[in-house]
Structure 1
């Protein structure tokens, strides 16, 4: 992990100059001295409407598949289309208004992830969906995520600009800039979008080929080696944006889990009874679900604490600023900042966090008690930092919110059990506050990265995010209740695997059956990585996530490395050609992410409306499994070839730059 502010030297003139240089960062699309319409009624109205749509679609998709899609880029694309239509009617819209729309819209998607991964788990404990309870917990957790992200913005978004790419945030900025300029970027992103959209329609809409290619095998007396990937355009695009180094760390964690730990456990006889007689790949997946996730959770707990430790000076400075502002001495300094560096006042953060902590204890619908409220706030602060860092590395779509919820459940259940608490619902609600805060913080950090690159006002984005959270929370309980009544949470249609796992773990800790040994293994592994000065969290994510997610991300990183190597042979000393090619690649990757995300919404809408086949794909072609696999390999090769060709085609020579 990159060393944090705790290792910086005293505030000499040299360090101040470096900090000022970092604060200047890249030249934003809209200069700090320019006044542009941003947080307008028009932008808020469009953002609220799209917010509810994304909330509903992602709650359904998340409970059906166990994963949600990042809504920032689809929201930006849809917003651009709406503003284009308004412009034809004589009502224009600025790029920063577009940014506010995507900020508000993505709040619904982020809050949906936290709700369906945790609160939905009460149905597995034979409890009904409480609409009021869901709304209160969602709004409290969501606001904590936004508030706790504010003091970390300058460190993660500004100071660590070069180290943390925030792939969706960067891609979203590229999308909005390309749409605003109307130049070559529009053609590139449109090409990436079209390729991804068609690719995913053929795969998910018609089952023409499989995107997931995986296998398990034995070597000698050792069984259970597993490798594979879900080779979708979005994951490859994310890998390209984050680059080969970080993608390699994630893939390395995946290899440790699936090519080392799982074979050892399977060969040693640690296969769950439900999968004992199943195929080898099914056994590997069962072992990962039963044991390895705990290893990843243990590594993330240690990595999270280390991240906080590395940021301790930044956090101390933020708290010091808050105290100064509350006393009134910091008001002038805050008002003197550039527009692009103005956050909500720190006294809002402190007072808001205190009020939320009191509400967690005092509001009867929450039911977590004094200890549960204390754990929720402290854990939320910890995992907001972890989440905001992680999405800077691997992106929002791969943000292991459920892993942070697992870690919270383990801590909360252990502490609450010591006080005599036996109700797993209390543990689950405590964890839901943290999961929602972590999901929202990850989304907020991506949005703030987009705003940083575009030249937006952070304070306006933070306000927009809070408005979006409030609306999402009001609808979340109703949407969850509707799906439970229509399909039944835990049914074949919406199995809600993450929620079921959370309920199981909550009961397991309270009854003493949790996998504490696996957690310790993950913690020790993370400690060793820290001693070796290797980034912990990307490795922990790789262990926790399925290998099918780590592999395509790594492929995208390799694609970036190959293109960069090819271009470097033609470049001159100033690296202008490499920079130009990297920019082209990011825009195409943004198109890939956008196309898949919007197709995910289309497929979700088809399922919700009951259009087409309810199982597998809406309009399946009826091809056999082997044929689908062969076509999947062909489709993947075509996707990679089209990506590379679009980036390198007509790229100017160094002499032309």
Structure 2
């Protein structure tokens, strides 16, 4: 229960905080920083794997909060306790790694598609500059978005994280749930990829009458199922709808019309469908993302203007910096302005960044605009649905056209420019969720912002190494980690600069997006579905359907207050996070075996030698068991736990 110890001004500014502004509680302590740094690296690695595998990342805030409570619970037994605000610092630092991972894998990973190696130093420099821009540009927007518009922008994950941290009694149960999901996923993927006991991928292509090239299938793994459950049936349905448009409409039309690349003309029908998707249909998704990104900016114009006004007022001494309340203390605006200027100079002057004067100017301006877009959008749909890739696509188009006009020919320069923007946008979305959690708990914004800076610095140091590891283990762009967004970014960058971009397909995607806007349908989830392989969109949709089925079942048993439904949703998110983390960690284990020379990318380190038909049959059995275990873990004793 939240305390009522608050002032009238605090009441007007939003909900009563768990820790009142006049009370001093330990926050940014050494133990909180150390735990946060350790979890930061784990979540960075897990989300890099997940993002390159599925094209999506998830917010690490709630899993980090649950794990942090478990760690502090263990420390409490030896006489070292932790406050709720220390827990908040841990999840703030941890989620910084997840956010930075999204920006890196959606853009910098694209250099591998341009036959360039992953440069660890370059990645670290670009990542830290983009991440710091995201934190700094969010400072003048915090009061306006987090405090003043608290009723309009719920920040679902930030609010949920605050509830988890505030309800300390859920700590033990939460650790058990996330551990269960982790173990199930870890063993599932070991049997599938470590021992080749069953197949996770089922796909087929077929003809109907005189129309060829219909394709459907799925890579049914725990992580993809968990992603679908977290984003819910609505967004998962939009993603799957985009996949159906691509693989059951556009690709059959193109194949039947003779638009099959020469390299795949004599291949099997499924291979032809893959080639057409790679050559043409991905550009349709890119066109839709571009329009969706610009539409988001247009929708945000009022917020951007208001944030600039707030910043100017604070620098002039007439704004909120005069507020002495602990819960309203941000980093000083002078620090923000000086920091942004120094970063802009570094983008131009530091050789490892490679963006030049034009690229640096575009990166800073676009970063500010998309930080506003990102912070606003996650207030509505949450961080896991933050369309960072759409913002990066819009930046790439602008940067490529501008750089081409001044004679630039290297698409890597375009990618580096877009990476700064993508990382800044991803970090801003995460920062805004964390600041909402802090507002509800009664944290000090300045200390959270400093925790974000520390987390960004560590994540940047590890990002290039982790990216290089996955490239060596699996090959970025391979079937295991297709890195769809990174491939699209490289495709557009090179295409615009060389004049080979499929502008006709981009225009088709743009028109399709305009139609969706007129119909008031979310553009970016559809665009992602068009761009993703159908084998990724299908299991995500299955996870969404599982969420819908569990929600419907719970609604029939719930009371008028809906407490059981809320409890079940929270349990499901935690188990899903465990599934995602377990698969990601197993991906690291198997990747390490490959790097060490055990097994190969085409087989498994310790194959059982089962026949293909047997593997397919066992794959269906394993999928049914996975869905059953997931549902059982969410529903088991949920009502009793609520009453406890």
Q: TM-score of the superposition, structure 2-length normalised?
A: 0.83
Which residue of structure 1 aligns with residue 404 of structure 2?
417
Deviation string 1:118-173 (CA, Å, 9 cap, x unpaired) is: 44555665667655544332221121222334455567767888998878767766
Deviation string 1:268-318 (CA, Å, 9 cap, x unpaired) is: 222233333333233223322222222222222222222222222222221
Q: 2:155, 2:382 within 8 Å by CA — same for their partners in 1?
A: yes
Q: CA–CA distance in 2 between the matches of 1:310 and 1:161?
A: 18
Structure 1 residues 385 and 283, CA gap change in structure 2 (3 angstroms): farther
Q: CA–CA distance in 2 between the matches of 1:406 and 1:656?
A: 48
Q: CA–CA distance in 1 between the matches of 2:385 and 2:569?
A: 22
- Of residues 629-638 and 147-156 in structure 1, the stretch that sits farther from structure 2 once superposed is 147-156
Deviation string 1:513-550 (CA, Å, 9 cap, x unpaired) is: 01112222222222222222222222223223333333
Deviation string 1:409-456 (CA, Å, 9 cap, x unpaired) is: 332122211222223332232222223323433444554465566554
Q: 1:171, 1:587 within 8 Å by CA — same for their partners in 2?
A: no
Q: TM-score of the superposition, structure 1-length normalised?
A: 0.81
1:209 to partner: Cα distance: 2.5
Structure 1 residues 486 and 225, CA gap change in structure 2 (3 angstroms): closer
1:26 to partner: Cα distance: 7.2
Structure 1 residues 579 and 65, CA gap change in structure 2 (3 angstroms): closer
Q: CA–CA distance in 2 between the matches of 1:615 and 1:395?
A: 37
Structure 1 residues 291 and 147, CA gap change in structure 2 (3 angstroms): farther
Structure 1 residues 321 and 406, CA gap change in structure 2 (3 angstroms): closer
Q: 1:205, 1:620 within 8 Å by CA — same for their partners in 2?
A: yes
Q: 1:248, 1:554 within 8 Å by CA — same for their partners in 2?
A: yes
Which residue of structure 2 aligns with residue 545 of structure 1?
532
Q: 2:63, 2:178 within 8 Å by CA — same for their partners in 1?
A: no
Q: 2:140, 2:311 within 8 Å by CA — same for their partners in 1?
A: no
Q: 1:400, 1:545 within 8 Å by CA — same for their partners in 2?
A: no
Q: 1:611, 1:618 within 8 Å by CA — same for their partners in 2?
A: yes
Q: 2:27, 2:89 within 8 Å by CA — same for their partners in 1?
A: yes
Q: 1:70, 1:597 within 8 Å by CA — same for their partners in 2?
A: no
Q: CA–CA distance in 1 between the matches of 2:233 and 2:474?
A: 42
Which residue of structure 2 aligns with residue 10 of structure 1?
none
Q: 2:69, 2:171 within 8 Å by CA — same for their partners in 1?
A: no
Query: Cα RMSD between the aligned structures?
Result: 4.6
Q: 2:287, 2:507 within 8 Å by CA — same for their partners in 1?
A: yes
Structure 1 residues 617 and 482, CA gap change in structure 2 (3 angstroms): closer
- Of residues 45-54 and 370-379 in structure 1, the stretch that sits farther from structure 2 once superposed is 45-54
1:626 to partner: Cα distance: 2.9
Structure 1 residues 624 and 487, CA gap change in structure 2 (3 angstroms): closer
| Helix, strand or coil at the partner of 1:162 | coil
Q: CA–CA distance in 2 between the matches of 1:608 and 1:258?
A: 34
Which residue of structure 2 aligns with residue 372 of structure 1?
359
Structure 1 residues 606 and 54, CA gap change in structure 2 (3 angstroms): farther
| Helix, strand or coil at the partner of 1:376 | helix
Structure 1 residues 615 and 161, CA gap change in structure 2 (3 angstroms): farther
Structure 1 residues 298 and 57, CA gap change in structure 2 (3 angstroms): same
Deviation string 1:533-582 (CA, Å, 9 cap, x unpaired) is: 22222222322333333333332332233233333334444434433443
Q: 1:238, 1:394 within 8 Å by CA — same for their partners in 2?
A: no
- Of residues 334-343 and 462-471 in structure 1, the stretch that sits farther from structure 2 once superposed is 334-343
Deviation string 1:615-656 (CA, Å, 9 cap, x unpaired) is: 544433333333233222222222222333333344549998
Structure 1 residues 347 and 226, CA gap change in structure 2 (3 angstroms): farther
Which residue of structure 2 aligns with residue 3 of structure 1?
none
Which residue of structure 1 aligns with residue 194 of structure 2?
205
| Helix, strand or coil at the partner of 1:53 | helix
1:321 to partner: Cα distance: 0.7
Residue 532 (1) aligns with residue 519 (2): yes
Structure 1 residues 283 and 434, CA gap change in structure 2 (3 angstroms): farther
Q: CA–CA distance in 2 between the matches of 1:633 and 1:34?
A: 56
1:325 to partner: Cα distance: 0.1
Q: CA–CA distance in 2 between the matches of 1:167 and 1:228?
A: 32
Q: 1:570, 1:654 within 8 Å by CA — same for their partners in 2?
A: no
Structure 1 residues 237 and 161, CA gap change in structure 2 (3 angstroms): farther
Aligned residues: 641
Structure 1 residues 163 and 376, CA gap change in structure 2 (3 angstroms): same
Q: CA–CA distance in 2 between the matches of 1:488 and 1:586?
A: 30
Structure 1 residues 56 and 549, CA gap change in structure 2 (3 angstroms): closer
Structure 1 residues 326 and 388, CA gap change in structure 2 (3 angstroms): closer
Aligned mate of 1:28, from 4, 13, 17:
17
Which residue of structure 2 aligns with residue 405 of structure 1?
392
Q: 1:87, 1:93 within 8 Å by CA — same for their partners in 2?
A: yes
Deviation string 1:218-247 (CA, Å, 9 cap, x unpaired) is: 222222222233333333333333333233
Q: 1:73, 1:594 within 8 Å by CA — same for their partners in 2?
A: no
Gaps of 5+ in 1: 1-12
Q: CA–CA distance in 2 between the matches of 1:184 and 1:50?
A: 19
Q: CA–CA distance in 2 between the matches of 1:515 and 1:79?
A: 48
1:322 to partner: Cα distance: 0.3
- Of residues 25-34 and 188-197 in structure 1, the stretch that sits farther from structure 2 once superposed is 25-34
- Of residues 339-348 and 313-322 in structure 1, the stretch that sits farther from structure 2 once superposed is 339-348
Structure 1 residues 510 and 61, CA gap change in structure 2 (3 angstroms): same
- Of residues 368-377 and 613-622 in structure 1, the stretch that sits farther from structure 2 once superposed is 613-622
1:512 to partner: Cα distance: 0.6
Structure 1 residues 16 and 378, CA gap change in structure 2 (3 angstroms): farther
Which residue of structure 1 aligns with residue 176 of structure 2?
187
1:324 to partner: Cα distance: 0.3
| Helix, strand or coil at the partner of 1:15 | coil
Structure 1 residues 449 and 262, CA gap change in structure 2 (3 angstroms): farther
Structure 1 residues 34 and 558, CA gap change in structure 2 (3 angstroms): farther
Q: CA–CA distance in 1 between the matches of 2:288 and 2:482?
A: 28
1:320 to partner: Cα distance: 0.8
- Of residues 285-294 and 395-404 in structure 1, the stretch that sits farther from structure 2 once superposed is 395-404
- Of residues 302-311 and 615-624 in structure 1, the stretch that sits farther from structure 2 once superposed is 615-624
Q: CA–CA distance in 2 between the matches of 1:291 and 1:547?
A: 15
Q: CA–CA distance in 2 between the matches of 1:100 and 1:112?
A: 19
- Of residues 148-157 and 456-465 in structure 1, the stretch that sits farther from structure 2 once superposed is 148-157
Structure 1 residues 627 and 131, CA gap change in structure 2 (3 angstroms): closer
- Of residues 241-250 and 570-579 in structure 1, the stretch that sits farther from structure 2 once superposed is 570-579
Deviation string 1:389-410 (CA, Å, 9 cap, x unpaired) is: 6767887677665554444333
